[in-house]
Amino acid sequence: MTREEAHERMKELSEQIEQHNYNYYVLSSPTITDYEFDMLLEELSGLEKKYPDLAGPDSPTQRIGGQVTKDFKTVEHKYPMLSLANTYSRGEIEAFARRVRKSIHNEVHYVCELKFDGVAIGLTYEKGSLKLAATRGDGIHGDDVTVNVKTIRSIPLKLRGNYPDNFEIRGEIYLPLKRFREINEARIKKGEVPFANPRNAASGSLKMQDSALVARRGLDCTFYNLLGPSLPHDNHYDNLREARKWGFKTSEHISLCKTTDEIFDFIDHWETTRKALDFDMDGVVIKVNAKQQQEALGYTAKSPRWAIAYKYKAVQGLTKLISVSFQVGRTGAITPVANLEPVQLAGTTVKRASLHNADIMRELDIHLGDVVYVEKGGEIIPKITGVDASRRPKGSSAVRFISTCPACNTPVIRKEGEAAHYCPNNKSCPPQIKGRLEHFISRRAMDINSLGEGKIEFLYDQGLVTRISDLYDLDFKDLFGLEKVIPANKEKKEKKISFREKTVKNILQGIEDSKSKPFERVLFGLGIRHIGETAAKKLARYFGSMEKLSGASYEELVAVDEIGDKMAGAILEYFNDSENQQIINALKKHGVQMQVMKEEKGSDVLHEKTFVISGVFEDHSRDDLKEMIEKHGGRNVGSVSSKTDYILAGKNMGPGKYEKAKKLNIPVISLEEFLSMLNT
């Protein structure tokens, strides 16, 4: 392929990819599979690596991210980013309509829209290209988050159709609820503090320094306002419809209304239907449709007079804060928890609510004895959303975040860029030790369920186990005859757990059985910070043994698919610690799996051979092929280099890869040839 041909192909690929993005993210009707889509993107990125000067700033490969920003530049908004007048009262919606009618003597049409609960963003386009993405900031100045915003697939990098030369479009970036739950589950599994709600997760994601990480968060964006000197229509509704044709995702849930009754119908409909949406919204925005009427109504210092937001009341209750406790997790992360006078919320009694972190506590300015608002939203744990400071008892003191660990008194630390505080005493802080033991025996790790129901905690309290490897030293006489008493409380009577013969045998058998759990579970069970189940699996497959993994360098670690800087750092730190090495040696001595077993491993016929997969395979997914390679001792990498041994090529192999392979004399093999290698 000549340079000119490559350039043509790159343009063609960019257009195709953006069309598929539009089909998928804006129209919600994809016409190709994710796999085919990835193939196109991969081909383009291959060509861009070869001809970096031909890669434009609008290239869809920008969506993969990669650029790292230390400090976001401050930019001035061309049009101030105002907020909306808010109300919870229908009476005020009627008053708003009366005010509008009083100033406008003609007929007024209103547009009703959903009020998205995310982070406001303003995008500037020039000649069809995205030039700037700015957050709201103080309304006058915002942060330039363009690199991060470019990774959001529903945001067009290049426009289509008949768009104005210069304009700004505003919308809301949010995290779809499914992604929010997935991210939080993963954070909890890794011992990290979960995000308080999807909005915080979205705003945190948007400000991440590494745009490749932003790309993986799965943010979405819906647009609701256009600004500029030459918009196509004289009204908001038609302009938004036009924007959809240029490639923007606008809401389908939008309605033109003529009367307040129609407005209330829209409000009522969404009050119940909103639960079925896959994103958070907290109300309805009502806007005067005609631009001319908007201009006539004008603005206050803070918000337009032509719009108002009606907010739905959250499931909220008022109660009293009794105290705040600080919980220490297995990785040392500290979570402040409010203990409340019990309050009924949406059918359940709430006694505890999360206060999330020191910043949120400070923002709330919470005092002991305060009357607080508790809300139960889509989140896992109820949260405190506000404080009624007017009802604060005299002389009550502000709740401060602890400066030392509540369990072991070690001064707490806060890592740069993280919201959570940690207790750094991972060696002897009891909740961390207990948390590690509990994690090790948990279902997804070693699955020693005969030690559940608090028995492991009891064994720790008895001084029988502190390190995970101590479990394997336990014998019958250590356990037989022990008795654990769970004291009575308001709800439950006293309970006694006796370690009789059967219990003890079960425990010892469970521990014995755990020795045959696969290496990836052992690795997950170690509880290395940031290493969840998936990462453990990837590492186990890639390195094959504890020995290889523990000796791996930073570069070798980050070469593994999905292992990033944070994880690599945590792994190095873990294996650098002599106590951890002792634990691993002890586990090994006891016969716990320290390598991928032969059955799992298939054979070693591809011993350390490096493969690059390219093109489309009819009967095999790319993940299947990767798994086969690794199972037989080979390695799979993303790009062709002089170290590549084979290219496994399917249909439509990327031309960039093909040329590079030819130049480097790397054999390009078919699927059949690959399968026959496995059979020898």
Residue from 82, 338, 640, 653 that binds ligand IVH (CB under 6 A)? 82
- Specify the residue, 1 or 277, whose C-beta has the smaller distance to ligand IVH: 277
Minimum CB separation of residue 436 from ligand IVH in Å reads 42
Question: By CB neighbour count within 10 A (0-12 exposed, 13-18 middle, 19+ buried), where does 490 fall?
Answer: exposed
CB of 303 to ligand IVH, least distance (A): 6
> Which amino acid is residue 305, in one-letter code?
R
Nearer to ligand IVH, 224 or 472 (CB): 224
Sign of CA dihedral 626, 627, 632, 635: positive
- Per DSSP, 255 falls in state E
Min dist CB 300 to ligand IVH, Å, is: 11
Binding to ligand IVH by CB under 6 A, coded x per residue (else -) over 154-193, reads ------------------x---------------------
In Å, what is the CA distance from 147 to each residue of 54, 132, 363?
19, 9, 29
Do the strands 316-328 and 371-375 form a parallel or antiparallel pair, or are they unpaired?
antiparallel
Smallest distance, ligand IVH to C-beta of residue 286, A: 10
- Name the segment binding ligand IVH (CB under 6 A); options: 41-49, 82-90, 229-237, 647-655: 82-90
Smallest distance from the beta carbon of 278 to ligand IVH, in angstroms?
Answer: 16
The residue range among 112-120, 322-330, 508-516, 639-647 that interacts with ligand IVH, by the rule CB under 6 A, is 112-120
Spatial separation of the C-alpha atoms in residues 412 and 421, rounded to whole Å = 6
Gyration radius from the chain CA atoms: 29
Whose structure tokens read 């696969």? 518
Q: Is 120 in the site for ligand IVH (CB under 6 A)?
A: yes
**Catalytic site includes residue 115:** yes
Contact range with ligand IVH by CB under 6 A, out of 55-63, 80-88, 416-424, 632-640? 80-88
| Residue with Cβ nearer ligand IVH (79 or 554) | 79
How far is Cα 133 from Cα 16, in angstroms, rounded to an integer? 24
Stretch that binds ligand IVH, among 1-9, 40-48, 114-122, 533-541 (CB under 6 A): 114-122
Task: Examine residue 113 and tell whether it contacts ligand IVH (CB under 6 A).
Answer: yes
Beta carbon nearer to ligand IVH, 225 or 425:
225
Return the residues of window 283-312 that contact ligand IVH according to CB under 6 A.
285, 304, 307, 309
Token duo for residue 495: 């309970």
**For residues 164 and 304, which CB has a smaller minimum distance to ligand IVH in the complex?**
304
Choose between 225 and 514: whose C-beta lies nearer to ligand IVH: 225
CB of 283 vs ligand IVH, minimal distance in Å: 8
| Residue closer to ligand IVH, measured from CB, 47 or 84 | 84
Min dist CB 417 to ligand IVH, Å, is 25
Q: Which residue is nearest to ligand IVH (CB)?
A: 120
Smallest distance, Å, CB 144 to ligand IVH? 18
Is the Cβ of residue 113 or residue 630 nearer to ligand IVH in the bound state? 113
Helix/strand/coil for 557 = helix
Closer Cβ to ligand IVH, 82 or 612, answer by number: 82
- Amino acid 465 reads V
Number of residues that bind ligand IVH (CB under 6 A): 14
Which of 568-572's residues contact partners 24+ apart within 8 Å by CB, and which partners?
Answer: 570/528, 570/529, 570/530, 570/531, 571/528, 571/531, 571/539
Tell which one of 116, 174, 246, 248 touches ligand IVH (CB under 6 A).
116
Tokens encoding 29 = 């009707």
Does position 529 interact with ligand IVH (CB under 6 A)? The reply is no
Tell me which residues in 307-346 interact with ligand IVH (CB under 6 A): 307, 309
Q: Which window, 115-123, 401-409, 415-423, 581-589, contacts ligand IVH (CB under 6 A)?
A: 115-123
Closer to ligand IVH at the Cβ: 173 or 471? 173
Give me the catalytic one of 50, 115, 190, 660: 115
Q: What is the DSSP letter of 451?
A: G
Q: Shortest CA distance to 605 belongs to which of 676, 519, 520, 544?
A: 676
* Cα separation, 20 vs 33, whole angstroms: 10
State the nearest-atom distance from the C-beta of 74 to ligand IVH, in Å. 18
Alpha-carbon torsion (93, 94, 98, 101), positive or negative: positive
Closest CB to ligand IVH among residues 279, 422: 279
Which position has the token pair 């109660």? Answer: 319
Closest C-alpha to 288, from 307, 260, 311: 307
| Residue ranges in 246-285 that form contacts with ligand IVH under rule CB under 6 A | 285
Please provide residue 144's backbone torsions phi and psi, each rounded to the nearest 5 degrees: -80, 105
The helix/strand/coil state of 471 is helix
Which one, of 571, 573, 581, lies nearest residue 543 by Cα?
571
Rounded-to-integer distance, Cα 339 and Cα 83, Å: 34
Which CB atom, from 244 or from 367, has the smaller least distance to ligand IVH? 244
CA atoms within 13 A on the CB side of 132: 19
Nearer to ligand IVH, 22 or 116 (CB): 116
Residue type, 239: N
* DSSP calls for 259-322: SHHHHHHHHHHHHHHGGGSSS-EEEEEEEE-BHHHHHHH-B-SSSBTTEEEEEPPPSEEEEEEE
Q: Tell me the C-alpha distance between 353 and 343, whole Å.
A: 11
Among 20, 115, 236, 538, binds ligand IVH (CB under 6 A): 115
Residue pair 636/626 in contact (Cβ under 8 Å)? The answer is yes
Tell me the closest approach of the beta carbon of residue 288 to ligand IVH, in angstroms. 12
Largest CA distance in the chain: 92
Which range touches ligand IVH (CB under 6 A), out of 44-52, 79-87, 192-200, 440-448?
Answer: 79-87
| Contact yes or no for 168/127 (Cβ under 8 A) | no
Closest by CA to 343, choosing from 366, 369, 320, 312, is: 320
Burial of residue 417 (number of CB atoms within 10 Å: 0-12, 13-18, 19+): exposed
CA distance linking residue 640 with residue 614, whole number of Å: 10
What is the footprint of ligand IVH within residues 217-236 (CB under 6 A)? 224-225
Q: How far is the CB of 224 from ligand IVH (least distance, A)?
A: 4
Which stretch, 23-31, 108-116, 495-503, 519-527, contacts ligand IVH (CB under 6 A)?
108-116
In the complex, what is the shortest distance from the CB of residue 287 to ligand IVH, in angstroms, rounded to a whole number?
7
Identify the residue among 84, 149, 355, 557 touching ligand IVH (CB under 6 A): 84
Could you tell me which stretch among 110-118, 232-240, 379-387, 537-545 binds ligand IVH (CB under 6 A)?
110-118
CB of 124 to ligand IVH, least distance (A): 16
The alpha helices in 229-259, defined as continuous H runs, are 236-246
Q: How far apart are CA 168 and CA 597, in angstroms?
A: 58
Just list the catalytic residues: 115
What are the residues binding ligand IVH (CB under 6 A)? 82-84, 113, 115-116, 120, 172, 224-225, 285, 304, 307, 309
